[in-house]
């Protein structure tokens, strides 16, 4: 009702305006401003309501989680729906043992791939993340949501919940319904006054900038041709000049008023964010409205001005538990705890309950508690437990091999890491006649060929980072890691192949360890050095 009254109040001057004789352009301009005012007023009211709900729920996080559990049990289906009448946490844990994500998929689908979980994704938490994220972004960068201030350059949006009417009214430059990234990029390039650039994920944005550099001349010609009767030769010349000056700082040369890059944080995005921040988007802030996994939105981002990657775990739906991990290892230590019981500085694995089948699923996402908001933890993402390499039982984790690779690339003159993937040698049958080892595929900027000396540095860095790896290498039980440089677009093809899988998660996560031969061969076919 309040929203309706607000709309009527803002629309009242419209009749007066239309009654007065004015030029068509002036009338159109006023209507655009009015639409923007109405849209932003509605969003601001909805965000304030969500902020109040969040404050109340986090102040009484224990009660809020009990309510979330009750709602989860009420919606249960299948053989475990007998728990519907119970909201006791101990009973819930005793009747529903923890299940790993891969095992849960097999149990729920009878061995068949599960469909993407987009129905989880567009839920209450997604709406809350979108509204609060927009409000936080507007507070930190007031001009970003002005008419014509934002453009999306990928088919997917970083905002978890679709809001088509406010988006159009707020003046986003992206063509309505457009799915081709090239068309979206072209529209953004025609608008030099942008203040925010949006992409579904950082890896998708990385692909956009690589495509821009590879096909810059084609895009410049398309801009010069312009729309019928509206050529833009000056803007085309600006694009050519910006590209000629190189990769570093390209975004700010194309859009001098640009302030922030908005992408959705999901697994495997850290390398892309680092590469974009060091090269194309140098000098810009990155903001993600939420942390998302295959189960949906898990964390809210309320602080654009703080370091990238801090998220509040809300106590509402979906129902989240935290599994403590042993210090110095990645093994489970004790039973799960609820959000108010989380301890600052400790690491936990996220556990999510599927409301449809009542499966308590260990997601494999490890987070560390860095602070507290009311009674709920604020966390940063550490690694994914499922992304491990093991050819001799060594279990090299994602954080370990990413750190080792980062050290090695730092010793390769002029090189900047864009993307990487790891494969156990047995997947590609590449260990015949030699000890099992890791096959490592890297995409680089600034280096076109890898010398043997550069390749050896990764093996040395792995030994410095992992004592278990060093021991197995000393014994001869493992061979040295084999490093391969892939050509431009190789990881883009891999992401396209992953997205085409029936069981692809939504939002898309970027795996670092490839366990299926067809996916590994996507990279193997594109090796250039």
User: Is residue 15 over pLDDT 60?
Assistant: no
CA distances from 288 to 199, 255, 301, 309, 317 (A): 10, 20, 7, 8, 20
- pLDDT-based confidence at residue 504 (cuts at 50, 70, 90): low
Distance CA 373, CA 344 (A): 11
pLDDT of the residue at 92 = 79
Burial of 385 (0-12, 13-18, 19+ CB in 10 A): buried
Query: Do the beta carbons of residue 512 and residue 420 sit within 8 Å?
Result: yes
Which carries the bigger pLDDT value, residue 239 or residue 74? 239
Distance CA 470, CA 459 (A): 9
**pTM for the predicted model, two decimal places:** 0.86
Q: What is the pLDDT of residues 302-325, one digit of tens each?
A: 888 777 789 999 998 788 999 998
pLDDT of the residue at 119 = 44
**With pLDDT > 90 as the criterion, what percentage of the chain qualifies?**
52
Query: Do the beta carbons of residue 475 and residue 394 sit within 8 Å?
Result: no
- Strands 416-424, 396-397: parallel, antiparallel or unpaired by DSSP? unpaired
User: Is residue 442 over pLDDT 90?
Assistant: yes
| Residue 255 DSSP SS3 | coil
Sign of CA dihedral 509, 384, 71, 264: negative
User: Is residue 507 over pLDDT 90?
Assistant: no
Listed residue (367, 351, 362) closest to 318, CA to CA: 351
Q: Which of 82-86, 420-424, 437-441 has the least mean pLDDT?
A: 82-86
Which carries the bigger pLDDT value, residue 47 or residue 197? 197
CA 476 to chain centre: 39
Query: Do the beta carbons of residue 267 and residue 510 sit within 8 Å?
Result: yes
Beta carbons within 10 angstroms of residue 164's beta carbon: 9
Distance CA 202, CA 376 (A): 27
Q: Which of 21-25, 27-31, 382-386 has the least mean pLDDT?
A: 21-25
Distance CA 335, CA 333 (A): 7
Distance CA 386, CA 104 (A): 14
User: Is residue 4 over pLDDT 60?
Assistant: no
User: Is residue 105 over pLDDT 70?
Assistant: no
pLDDT of the residue at 499 = 80
Distance CA 193, CA 202 (A): 22
- pLDDT-based confidence at residue 165 (cuts at 50, 70, 90): low
Beta carbons within 10 angstroms of residue 362's beta carbon: 22
* pLDDT, average across residues 430-443: 88
- pLDDT-based confidence at residue 107 (cuts at 50, 70, 90): very low
Q: What is the pLDDT of residues 395-413, one digit of tens each?
A: 999 989 999 999 999 999 9
Distance CA 215, CA 181 (A): 13
At 143, list the tokens.
């001009």
Q: Identify any residues that bridge with 227 across adjacent strands, giving them in sequence order.
A: 230
Listed residue (522, 502, 307) closest to 419, CA to CA: 522
Beta carbons within 10 angstroms of residue 339's beta carbon: 23
Which carries the bigger pLDDT value, residue 257 or residue 166? 257
Distance CA 330, CA 390 (A): 15
User: Is residue 109 over pLDDT 80?
Assistant: no
At 118, list the tokens.
């987009």
- pLDDT-based confidence at residue 181 (cuts at 50, 70, 90): confident
DSSP per-residue codes, 295-311 = TEEEEE---TTSPTTEE
pLDDT of the residue at 331 = 59
Which carries the bigger pLDDT value, residue 196 or residue 317? 196
* pLDDT, average across residues 146-162: 88
Which carries the bigger pLDDT value, residue 266 or residue 457? 457
Distance CA 72, CA 316 (A): 10
Q: Which of 120-124, 315-319, 494-498 has the least mean pLDDT?
A: 120-124
Q: Identify any residues that bridge with 396 across adjacent strands, giving them in sequence order.
A: 389
- pLDDT-based confidence at residue 326 (cuts at 50, 70, 90): confident
CA 400 to chain centre: 21
User: Is residue 343 over pLDDT 90?
Assistant: yes
Query: Do the beta carbons of residue 129 and residue 122 sit within 8 Å?
Result: no
* pLDDT, average across residues 188-204: 93
pLDDT of the residue at 344 = 95
User: Is residue 480 over pLDDT 60?
Assistant: yes
At 128, list the tokens.
């809350």
> Which of 36-40, 114-118, 327-331, 500-504 ranks highest by mean pLDDT?
36-40
Looking at residue 445, what DSSP letter applies? E
Q: Specify whether the backbone of 364 is left (phi greater than 0), alpha (psi in -120 to 50) or beta.
A: left
Omega prior to 507 cis, within 30 of 0: yes
Query: DSSP strand E in 301-447: where?
Result: 310-312, 320-324, 347-354, 359-373, 376-384, 388-389, 396-397, 416-424, 438-445
- pLDDT-based confidence at residue 202 (cuts at 50, 70, 90): very high
Average pLDDT score over the chain: 82
Q: What is the dihedral of CA 486, 487, 488, 490, to 10 degrees?
A: -60
- Strands 482-485, 438-445: parallel, antiparallel or unpaired by DSSP? parallel
| Residue 447 DSSP SS3 | coil
Query: Do the beta carbons of residue 483 and residue 450 sit within 8 Å?
Result: yes
Beta carbons within 10 angstroms of residue 485's beta carbon: 21
* pLDDT, average across residues 20-43: 64
Listed residue (299, 321, 375, 377) closest to 60, CA to CA: 375
Backbone phi, psi, residue 262, to 5°: -110, 120
Distance CA 92, CA 95 (A): 5
124-150 b/e with 16+ CB inside 10 Å = b?
Answer: bbbbbbbbbbbbbbbebbeebbbbebb
At 212, list the tokens.
């821009």
**With pLDDT > 70 as the criterion, what percentage of the chain qualifies?**
79
pLDDT of the residue at 94 = 77
pLDDT of the residue at 462 = 96
pLDDT of the residue at 90 = 78
At 72, list the tokens.
């989860």
Which helix (H) or strand (E) segment is 291 a member of? strand 290-293
Query: Do the beta carbons of residue 291 and residue 304 sit within 8 Å?
Result: no
């Amino acid at each position: 009702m309040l929203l309706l009254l607000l709309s009527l109040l803002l629309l009242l001057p419209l009749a007066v305006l239309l009654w007065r004789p004015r030029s068509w352009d002036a009338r159109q301009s006023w209507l655009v401003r009015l639409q923007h005012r109405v849209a932003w007023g509605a969003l601001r009211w909805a965000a304030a309501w969500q902020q109040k709900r969040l404050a109340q729920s986090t102040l009484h996080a224990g009660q809020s989680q009990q309510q979330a559990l009750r709602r989860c049990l009420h919606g249960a289906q299948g053989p475990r729906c007998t728990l519907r009448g119970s909201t006791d946490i101990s009973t819930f844990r005793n009747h529903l043992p923890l299940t790993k994500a891969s095992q849960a998929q097999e149990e729920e689908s009878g061995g068949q791939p599960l469909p993407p979980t987009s129905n989880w994704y567009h839920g209450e938490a997604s709406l809350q993340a979108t509204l609060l994220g927009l409000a936080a972004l507007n507070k930190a960068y007031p001009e970003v949501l002005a008419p014509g201030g934002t453009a999306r350059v990928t088919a997917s949006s970083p905002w978890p919940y679709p809001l088509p009417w406010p988006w159009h009214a707020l003046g986003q430059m992206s063509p309505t319904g457009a799915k081709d990234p090239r068309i979206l990029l072209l529209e953004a390039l025609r608008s030099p006054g942008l203040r925010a650039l949006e992409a579904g994920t950082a890896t998708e944005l990385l692909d956009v900038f690589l495509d821009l550099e590879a096909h810059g001349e084609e895009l410049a010609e398309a801009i010069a041709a312009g729309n019928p009767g509206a050529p833009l030769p000056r803007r085309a010349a600006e694009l050519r000049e910006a590209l000629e000056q190189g990769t570093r700082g390209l975004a700010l040369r194309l859009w001098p008023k640009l302030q922030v890059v908005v992408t959705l944080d999901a697994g495997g995005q850290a390398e892309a964010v680092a590469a974009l921040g060091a090269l194309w988007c140098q000098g810009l802030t990155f903001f993600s409205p939420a942390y998302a996994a295959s189960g949906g939105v898990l964390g809210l981002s309320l602080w654009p001005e703080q370091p990238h990657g801090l998220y509040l775990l809300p106590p509402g739906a979906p129902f989240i538990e935290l599994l403590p991990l042993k210090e110095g290892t990645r093994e489970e230590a004790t039973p799960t705890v609820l959000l108010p019981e989380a301890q600052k500085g400790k690491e936990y694995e996220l556990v999510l309950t599927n409301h449809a089948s009542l499966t308590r699923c260990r997601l494999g996402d490890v987070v560390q508690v860095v602070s507290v908001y009311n009674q709920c933890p604020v966390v940063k993402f550490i690694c994914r437990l499922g992304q491990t390499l093991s050819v001799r039982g060594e279990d090299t984790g994602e954080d370990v091999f990413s750190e080792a690779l980062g050290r090695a690339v730092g010793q390769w003159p002029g090189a900047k890491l864009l993307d990487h993937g790891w494969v156990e040698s047995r997947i590609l049958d590449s260990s015949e006649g030699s000890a099992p080892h890791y096959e490592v595929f890297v995409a680089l900027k600034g280096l076109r060929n890898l010398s043997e000396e550069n390749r050896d540095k990764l093996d040395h860095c792995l030994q410095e980072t992992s004592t278990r790896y060093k021991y197995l290498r000393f014994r001869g039980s493992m061979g040295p890691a084999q490093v391969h440089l892939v050509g431009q677009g190789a990881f883009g093809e891999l992401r396209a192949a992953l997205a085409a899988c029936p069981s692809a998660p939504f939002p898309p996560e970027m795996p670092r360890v490839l366990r299926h031969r067809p996916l590994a061969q996507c990279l193997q076919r594109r090796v250039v050095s």
